[in-house]
Amino acid sequence: MASVSLSSIEKIRAASRGLPPKLKAIAELITSEPRDIIHLSIVELAKKTASSEATIFRLCKRLGFEGYQDLKIAIAQEIDQTKPDYVDEEMSLDDDTAVFMQKVFQANITALKDSFQLLNPEDVKKAIQLIHEAERLEFYGSGGSGLIATDAFHKFMRTGINCIVHTDSHFQAMSAGLLDQKSTVLGISHSGRNKDLLDAMKTAKEKGAKTIGITSYQRSPLSQIADVTLYTSTQETAFRTEAMSARLAQLTVIDVLYFALAHLRQQETLTNLKQMREIISQKRV
């Protein structure tokens, strides 16, 4: 039986992003109507989705379950453990400030919990190793992802590693062309389909650099290019795009990588932090 956790539905939602349209539509129905799905037989679900039993079974396998019954059990166990006072994260015009606050915080908490479940500890370990062994580390990201990349640079510079951030596509391309096998590039793209970022990552890889990707989409072009891919989970609402909800999870992944590297470079990191604090203190009134 597939492993069960409080984020089984989110795991299905995350895994469905890279599926063919037909299978993705069925997966979206499952995540939008979980309480109804657990009462449907495979024949009934096939009829409801205008598909076949074989298609449903194939979808379950693609989502990481042994079969349809295994999927239903996972969903049922999750529903049983869901708190009755759970607040729907979708915003409503009737919501007051207190409800808005609760929904926003709940959405962020959910994104973090689900991303934690999606992260493979072995992949995180590999990413940390690639960063630790690099003589040069570069962070690439554009738009909202550029903010995450900049935050990563702000953190990692404290460890003493030779690093830089590029949020401009031309700088990314030029810098990637100067890398070698002793370099590592960490590229961030929510969709994993930003063309400029992908081109820069390809160039870096052609030069021998190691590559790490952070994205919300499995089977995305970025995940196919990167030597190691770390995934975050997101959910779109009327007022909140997937990319927006992904940022907090992406920042947390960056924190994980930073603290791991700082642990490996303890003395240098502590020395640098002390020096930085002394310098920054001069900026305060």
- Output phi, psi for 188, to 5 deg: -120, 125
Q: What share of the chain has pLDDT > 90, as a percent? A: 56
Supply the pLDDT for residue 202: 98
Supply the pLDDT for residue 5: 43
CATH 3.40.50.10490 residue ranges of the chain are 118-281
What is the mean predicted confidence (pLDDT) over 170-190? 97
Task: Give the chain's mean pLDDT.
Answer: 87
pLDDT band at 259 (very low <50, low <70, confident <90, very high): very high
What is the mean predicted confidence (pLDDT) over 34-55? 90
Q: In the predicted model, is pLDDT for residue 106 greater than 60?
A: yes
Cα(72)–Cα(60) distance, integer angstroms: 10
Domain 1-83 has CATH 3.40.190.10: no
Supply the pLDDT for residue 147: 96
208 dihedral zone (left: phi>0; alpha: psi -120 to 50; beta) = left
Question: Which CATH fold would you assign to the domain 118-281?
Answer: Rossmann fold (3.40.50)
244, 164, 258, 240: CA torsion to nearest 10:
0
CATH 1.10.10.10 residue ranges of the chain are 1-83
What is the mean predicted confidence (pLDDT) over 20-27? 91
* pLDDT tens, position by position, 230-243: 998 776 555 556 56
Confirm if 20 and 43 have CB atoms less than 8 A apart: no
Supply the pLDDT for residue 229: 96
* Nearest by Cα to 66 from 75, 77, 57: 57
Cα(166)–Cα(199) distance, integer angstroms: 14
Give 144-151's long-range contacts (Cβ < 8 A, gap of 24+): 144/190, 144/243, 144/244, 144/247, 145/188, 145/189, 145/190, 145/194, 145/197, 145/243, 145/250, 147/247, 148/188, 148/214, 148/247, 148/250, 148/251, 148/254, 149/186, 149/188, 151/251, 151/254
* Nearest by Cα to 248 from 118, 91, 105, 129: 105
What is the mean predicted confidence (pLDDT) over 88-95? 64
Supply the pLDDT for residue 127: 98
Whole-structure pTM over 0.85, yes or no?
no
Supply the pLDDT for residue 1: 43
Q: How far lies 274's CA from each of 161, 168, 174, 228, 254, in Å?
A: 16, 31, 34, 32, 22
* pLDDT tens, position by position, 263-285: 999 999 999 999 999 999 999 98
Other CB atoms within 10 A of residue 228 CB: 23
pLDDT band at 77 (very low <50, low <70, confident <90, very high): confident
Q: In the predicted model, is pLDDT for residue 73 greater than 90?
A: no
